[in-house]
Amino acid sequence: MANKRIVQISDTHLTPAGEVPSFNQQLDPFDKLSQVFADVKKMEVKPDYVVITGDLIHEGTTSDYAELKKNLHKEEQNLGIPIFVLLGNHDRTEPFYEGFLGQQAKSKFYQKVTLKGIDNYFLDTTFGNIEQGYLDQKQLDWLSEHLSKDNKNPALIFMHHPIAGASLKHMRFSVLQNGSELLQVCGQGNVKGIFSGHIHFPTTYLTEGILNSVAESTAYHIDCRNNQQHYVNDAVGYNIITLSEENNIGVENRYLYWGQKIVKEIPIGETGFVDPSIFN
């Protein structure tokens, strides 16, 4: 197997029709996403596929998702590669099913796609419209069955909420709340990496020997270094994932724009995991 390259885009937060950009963005998030696709098109070695890891539209409607489907189809034609999407906490499941998929809505959107000798698992970590992520038992059982049965190919997991790790010690209030359960399931298969977004800054760390990589947003960066006060500025970034012939994996962070102006401040309270009873 030759080297495989996957472009990961995350947290596009595209503005619904008639609304203003979220989080006081000074630049149009549609234009920012166009910058990313233009940059990908310049790559000398074309990537094998693109994955957008959630928060596609900032609380959009059916027509917004239909327009997104049309725009991504154009980008697929321009690049000559498939584009896959999954949902984040600012996405709305029913409008997504109706507008993007043209299907009757289900409670969760997750799937397995084998491409170029890689088993890709696109998970749904949303729980209603709350900020935190959670994987329901049905989805964990589905993943467990596939990973334990199909363990010859390298497996990559894509989801919106990251697992808590060394560099996310003070982000536990916002990330995947049952990451330990996911890691137990991952141990049954040939998982090489877990790729996520949500927190709007890039970071990489190991959990149970598995690479975890979080992508920058294409819409805005959040500076979380101050545990009690976060700062927002416009930014455009994405990741390029490389899986080598030997199944070694690495990630390049690409930055296309970095705004210096602070456009929003977010006060933070408790930073630990939330009460698990809310997921009952």
What CATH number corresponds to the domain at position 92? Answer: 3.60.21.10
Give the mean pLDDT of 199-217: 97
Model pLDDT, residue 172: 98
What is the model's pTM? Answer: 0.98
Q: Domain residues for 132? A: 4-279
User: Structurally, how many domains does the chain consist of?
Assistant: 1
Give the mean pLDDT of 219-247: 97
Band the pLDDT of 138: cuts 50, 70, 90. Answer: very high
Give the mean pLDDT of 163-178: 97
Model pLDDT, residue 233: 98
Band the pLDDT of 20: cuts 50, 70, 90. Answer: very high
What is the rounded average pLDDT for all residues in the chain?
A: 97
Model pLDDT, residue 1: 60
Band the pLDDT of 214: cuts 50, 70, 90. Answer: very high
Band the pLDDT of 150: cuts 50, 70, 90. Answer: confident
Which amino acid is located at 242 in the chain? T
pLDDT at 192 over 90: yes
pLDDT at 64 over 70: yes
Model pLDDT, residue 151: 87
Band the pLDDT of 198: cuts 50, 70, 90. Answer: very high
Give the mean pLDDT of 12-22: 98
Give the mean pLDDT of 115-122: 96
pLDDT at 2 over 90: no
Q: Please report, rounded to a whole number, the percentage of residues in the chain having pLDDT higher than 70.
A: 100
